Copies of this chain bind each other. A is one copy, B any other.
Amino acid sequence: MSRDSLPGDPRFFQRLGPFSVQALAEAADAEIVGNGDALRPLKGVAPLQSATAEEVSFLDNRRYLPLLAETRAGAVILGSAFQDKLPPGCVGLVAKTPYLAWARVAALFHPVAPARPGIHPSAIIAENAVIAPDAEIGPLAVIGDRVTIGAGTAIGSHVAIGDGVSIGARCRIGSHASVSHSLIGDRVALYPGVRLGQDGFGFAVGPAGFETVPQLGRVVIGDDVEIGANATIDRGSMRDTVIGAGTRIDNLVQIGHNAQLGRCCIVVSQAGISGSTELGDFVTIAAQAGLIGHIKIGDKARIGAQCGVMSDVDAGADVIGSPAMPFREFFRNVAFLRKMAKRPEKDDS
């Protein structure tokens, strides 16, 4: 790997530091171990294979142990199970949850840039919009009537915020997002091209074709939610579409009208949740999975990739396949079919 492709290219990323090992250990809630130089200031983060003595790296997965043996990193964040594998001269930062420790250390060097207070002169702002003085409104954004935008929130370029929308504090709304009929909490991130609050897919069969059913609900987004690029979330028809606090939604996800997601759910890219379906808390929906409408998914259930869910799923259940079935059953079926289809068929007589 050339130095050119290292993380944190200064053309794109701000870099703070250097930080002492002690400061990193505090940020990471980690214990300092090993015989490395714990007094050397560290200047950045890097992968095991390219880190220098002035950088901190990270190991979370047994399969990268060979890289640990050869790393020149000044310090490595890792779990206690691997601490005896630290090479000589390398400081260990032993953390209970190394990935979390890593997230915090990386964020120490490369914090999310705060909003740059001010309204770009090209933005078009309704007179009665209420925008916090330290909010940032990007070029060519359009902010509708009675919109409220909270403290420290950054609105990207070309964003459209419809009449009456409320956005909380310290949110980041990516470029080209469009938001209507929505109430958004604090610290919410919408990535570029998100579509929030448009009409749901609702129509009745009339004598001369389909007739649109008015979609009279809203979208309500809890605090700390993130919604990925080009994802679409329709507003409710008779009640609200609700995304619970802390939930993370990936790119190109579709969420239908009236859907209700609980707290800290994960919905991976290209998954779809049909109208009026309800998720508990801590539910995981893997990539390209699809949930039919009007069903309930219990807390902590896990829906596998490409799964087709046609009925309720119990709390804590693991399902996969289309139609969805328990993981064990799915892989048993796959094995059975592989075996049976291969063997020469016996005489039926």
A residues with a Cβ closer than 8 A to B are 1, 5, 7-9, 11-13, 45-47, 97, 99-100, 102-104, 106-107, 109-110, 112, 122, 124, 138-140, 142, 146, 156-158, 160, 162-164, 174-176, 178, 180-181, 191-193, 195, 198-199, 201, 203-206, 209-214, 216-218, 220, 224, 226, 228-230, 232, 234, 236-240, 245-246, 248, 250-252, 254, 256, 263-264, 266, 268-270, 272, 274, 287-288, 290, 292, 305-306, 308, 310, 322-323, 325, 329, 332-338, 340-343, 346, 348
Contact = CB atoms under 8 A, between A and B. Distances in A.
Counting every copy of the chain, the complex holds 3
Given A110-B216, A232-B229, A191 B180 contact: no
Contact of A216 (B8, B191, B213): B8
B191 A239 contact: no
Contact of A305 (B109, B264, B290): B290
B251 A97 contact: no
A252 B250 contact: no
Contacts of A346: 348
27 contacts: A8-B216, A9-B216, A9-B218, A11-B164, A12-B218, A45-B216, A107-B214, A138-B142, A140-B142, A157-B160, A174-B178, A174-B198, A175-B178, A176-B193, A193-B230, A201-B251, A201-B269, A209-B246, A229-B234, A252-B254, A254-B269, A269-B272, A306-B322, A333-B337, A337-B337, A337-B341, A343-B348
Contacts of A322: 306, 322
A325 B338 contact: yes
B139 A142 contact: yes
A246 B210 contact: yes
Given A124-B122, A178-B175, A213-B99, A251 B195 contact: yes
Given A193-B193, A323-B334, A103 B158 contact: no
A99 B204 contact: yes
A333 B341 contact: yes
Nearest to A274: B287
A298 B250 CA distance: 27
